[in-house]
């Protein structure tokens, strides 16, 4: 996927704490140093501290700790560990490249004018995990609607059963809720048959509890089009029903600890705008080829992202080079979630830095986990939902599991994605500039002048391939399409040298050359359209793989799954 001169080992991460560029292998050590300095009471994370200053600060903290009525041995151990870590000052070696991943990235083609490319990359992180428990969802033409797709990522825990069930059934449940409000969402006969089979589980008494999600302020058409609250309630109701279906325990192995999962989903739909009123005219002009670069980058294309997340799987949108987090962290590190659990009678252990719910789970919201009724009282299936408009100023969307977010924050992922994407474009430009695009071969006419030219005879015998043109590919088009430059000066001089003016080919040869030239131009135009799509597909695969490799190098201990979507504004990223 990557060009031959891949130089990924020079990719660095911009630390959000100290504003320094760090190699991925150094990031884990770097962040531990930040935590140690903060625990010892140093305000500036990037400040240089000598051994005498560290020793004096440790003595001060221990003295203050022994004078307090509530002496904590755990606090004393943290102080000593931080002091020893900073005194050791052991930094990993510099000469190291990113490790290879077990599974290559997977490209998914979607017929959506808002999306240029979509790629998924996964790694089970075999150093720490035995199985890959993450699953992803990509449904094109969702609800039999054009320019509408449903994306999702399910982060399984303590087994893969819940993640597999959610990945296969949650899209149907959400579609069922959408179709009840918006008639443009259609269900097939097979999908309706599966939904009818759930009727025996979703009984009347359970439907009464769902009324909290179905109460609407108004049912008129204008209210429905001006607000997206009905979509948020459809999300909440579908998550609620999904959790009810997981209560059946289908395919669960353990009788005590059933599997569960976190999830982040995204409904991508195109919305009409003033500039896109002439949809029929554009369809006639471009035909049904929604993959055409011209059709995919038409001006005024706008859409909506409807995001829902539960647990520690998150979504980040890049707009105008700035990151926007579209999800919420549902774990014990969230103060509001901790208070909710404690106020409802739940327990949070202190064995971890942020604690574990009932001593077992770090996430405070999720689907599944029905094997433990005490744990299930605290872990609720209520998602966080948000709707965000998108246009040509949006560059990309990232959905990722906890394996990425436990070692990188949102700003670091954003900066790394921008750097990796522009790095790929520079490598692509370098490869294209050094590559001969087209070559054609023809036999020189045996004229009297050529017979007297020994060089021409040697070339004829050797079957020399004469360069017809050198069409370089550039990425400077403001519309994001690849431009085709004129033949270079070197190519023109090469033609003059090989075909001197004194040797004029016959008229039939000139006609054949013109015919070949016109065929080359038409084929090149078609190649440019394909090359534009291939470029973005390969770029999405390259970025997703580099993010997974970086997370592994940074010390992730969980499964890593990354779904990256390149939007129409990705060509506007400054290089």
Helix (H) or strand (E) holding 496: helix 489-498
pLDDT digits (tens, 9 = 90+) for 537-568: 999 999 999 999 999 988 899 999 999 999 99
pLDDT at 481 over 90: no
pLDDT at 192: 94
pLDDT at 106: 85
pLDDT at 99: 57
Least Cα distance to 286 among 268, 269, 298, 274 occurs for: 298
Is pLDDT larger for residue 74 or for residue 509? 74
| pLDDT band per the 50, 70, 90 thresholds, residue 44 | low
Segment 181-197 shows an average pLDDT of 93
- Beta-strand ranges (E) seen in 277-436 are 302-310, 314-319, 322-325, 367-368, 384-390, 394-400
pLDDT at 403: 94
pLDDT at 536 over 60: yes
pLDDT at 447 over 60: no
Segment 497-507 shows an average pLDDT of 42
Question: Which stretches within 5-50 are classed as H helix?
Answer: 24-39
The b-or-e profile of 391-416 (16+ CB within 10 A means b, else e) is bbebbbbbbbbbbbbbbbbbbbbbbb
Helix (H) or strand (E) holding 171: helix 161-181
Segment 439-445 shows an average pLDDT of 40
pLDDT at 436: 45
pLDDT at 437 over 70: no
Least Cα distance to 149 among 182, 134, 171, 166 occurs for: 171
**Which of 264-268, 449-453, 471-475 is the most confident on average?**
264-268
Question: Which stretches within 182-311 are classed as H helix?
Answer: 189-197, 204-209, 211-214, 221-226, 229-246, 279-286, 293-296
pLDDT digits (tens, 9 = 90+) for 218-261: 444 434 444 789 999 999 999 999 999 999 999 888 777 899 99
Is pLDDT larger for residue 16 or for residue 322? 322
Segment 1-27 shows an average pLDDT of 62
275 touches 392 (CB < 8 A): no
Of 28-42, 138-152, 323-337, the least confident: 28-42
pLDDT at 511: 52
Segment 118-132 shows an average pLDDT of 93
pLDDT at 493 over 50: no
- Beta-strand ranges (E) seen in 4-84 are 13-14, 21-22
Return the bridge partners of 318, or none: 323, 396
pLDDT at 291: 37
DSSP code at position 160: S
> In whole angstroms, what is the distance from residue 456 CA to residue 380 CA?
82
pLDDT digits (tens, 9 = 90+) for 419-435: 889 888 888 888 877 76
pLDDT digits (tens, 9 = 90+) for 79-100: 887 777 777 766 655 444 555 6
* End-to-end C-alpha distance for the chain, whole angstroms: 20
395 touches 570 (CB < 8 A): yes
pLDDT at 279 over 50: no
DSSP code at position 108: -
β-pair type (394-400, 314-319): antiparallel
| pLDDT band per the 50, 70, 90 thresholds, residue 329 | very high
Segment 181-196 shows an average pLDDT of 93
Least Cα distance to 202 among 214, 190, 185 occurs for: 214
Least Cα distance to 313 among 257, 384, 368 occurs for: 384
| pLDDT band per the 50, 70, 90 thresholds, residue 530 | low
**Which of 247-261, 329-343, 458-472 is the most confident on average?**
329-343
> In whole angstroms, what is the distance from residue 130 CA to residue 35 CA?
29
* Residues whose CB is less than 8 angstroms from the CB of residue 143 and which lie 6 or more positions away in sequence, other chains included: 175, 178, 179, 184, 185, 186, 187
pLDDT at 431: 81
| pLDDT band per the 50, 70, 90 thresholds, residue 46 | low
pLDDT at 246: 94
pLDDT at 47 over 90: no
Write phi, then psi, for 268 (nearest 5 degrees).
Answer: -105, 120
pLDDT at 574: 58
pLDDT digits (tens, 9 = 90+) for 368-427: 999 888 999 999 999 999 999 999 899 999 999 999 999 998 988 998 999 889 888 888
Is pLDDT larger for residue 176 or for residue 219? 176
Helix (H, G, I), strand (E, B) or coil at 153: strand
pLDDT digits (tens, 9 = 90+) for 192-217: 999 999 988 887 667 777 766 555 44
């Amino acid at each position: 996927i990557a060009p031959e001169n891949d130089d990924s080992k020079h990719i660095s991460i911009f630390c959000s704490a100290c504003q320094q560029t760090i190699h991925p292998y150094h990031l884990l050590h770097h962040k531990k140093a930040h935590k140690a300095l903060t625990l010892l009471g140093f305000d500036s994370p990037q400040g240089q501290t000598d051994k005498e200053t560290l020793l004096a600060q440790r003595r001060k903290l221990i003295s203050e700790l022994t004078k307090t009525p509530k002496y904590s041995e755990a606090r004393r151990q943290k102080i000593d560990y931080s002091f020893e870590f900073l005194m050791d000052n052991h930094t990993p070696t510099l000469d190291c490249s990113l490790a290879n991943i077990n599974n290559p990235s997977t490209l998914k083609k979607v017929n959506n004018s808002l999306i240029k490319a979509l790629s998924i990359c996964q790694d089970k992180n075999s150093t720490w995990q035995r199985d890959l428990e993450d699953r992803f969802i990509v449904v094109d033409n969702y609800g039999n609607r054009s320019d509408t797709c449903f994306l999702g990522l399910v982060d399984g825990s303590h087994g893969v059963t819940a993640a597999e069930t959610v990945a296969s059934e949650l899209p149907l449940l959400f579609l069922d809720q959408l179709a009840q409000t918006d008639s443009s969402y259609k269900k097939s006969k097979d999908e309706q048959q599966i939904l009818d089979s759930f009727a025996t589980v979703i009984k009347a008494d359970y439907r009464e509890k769902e009324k909290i999600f179905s109460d609407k302020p108004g049912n008129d058409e204008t209210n429905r089009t001006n607000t997206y609250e009905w979509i948020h309630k459809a999300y909440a109701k579908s998550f609620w029903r999904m959790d009810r279906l997981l209560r059946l325990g289908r395919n669960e192995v353990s009788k005590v600890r059933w599997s569960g999962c976190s999830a982040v989903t995204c409904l991508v739909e195109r919305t009409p705008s003033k500039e896109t009123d002439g949809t029929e005219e554009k369809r006639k002009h471009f035909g049904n080829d929604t993959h055409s670069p011209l059709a995919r980058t038409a001006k005024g294309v706008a859409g909506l992202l409807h995001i829902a997340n539960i647990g520690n799987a998150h979504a980040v949108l890049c707009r105008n080079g700035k990151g926007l987090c579209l999800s919420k962290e549902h774990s014990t590190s969230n103060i509001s979630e901790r208070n909710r659990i404690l106020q409802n009678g739940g327990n949070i252990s202190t064995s971890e830095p942020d604690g574990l719910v009932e001593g077992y789970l770090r996430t405070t919201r999720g689907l599944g986990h029905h094997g433990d009724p005490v744990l299930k009282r605290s872990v609720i299936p209520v998602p966080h939902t948000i709707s965000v408009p998108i246009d040509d100023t949006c560059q990309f969307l990232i959905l990722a599991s906890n394996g990425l977010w436990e070692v990188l924050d949102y700003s670091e992922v954003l900066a790394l994605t921008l750097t990796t994407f522009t790095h790929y474009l520079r490598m692509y430009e370098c490869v294209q500039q050094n590559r001969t695009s087209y070559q054609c071969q023809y036999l020189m006419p045996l004229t009297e002048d050529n017979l007297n030219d020994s060089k021409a005879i040697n070339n004829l015998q050797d079957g020399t391939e004469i360069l017809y043109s050198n069409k370089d590919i550039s990425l400077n088009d403001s519309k994001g399409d690849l431009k085709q430059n004129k033949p270079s000066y070197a190519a023109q001089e090469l033609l003059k040298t090989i075909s001197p003016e004194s040797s004029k080919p016959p008229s039939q040869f000139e006609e054949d050359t013109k015919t070949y030239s016109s065929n080359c131009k038409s084929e090149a135009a078609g190649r440019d359209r394909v090359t534009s799509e291939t470029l973005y597909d390969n770029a999405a695969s390259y970025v997703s793989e580099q993010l997974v490799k970086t997370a592994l190098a940074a010390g992730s201990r969980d499964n890593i799954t990354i779904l990256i979507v390149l939007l129409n504004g990705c060509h506007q990223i400054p290089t």
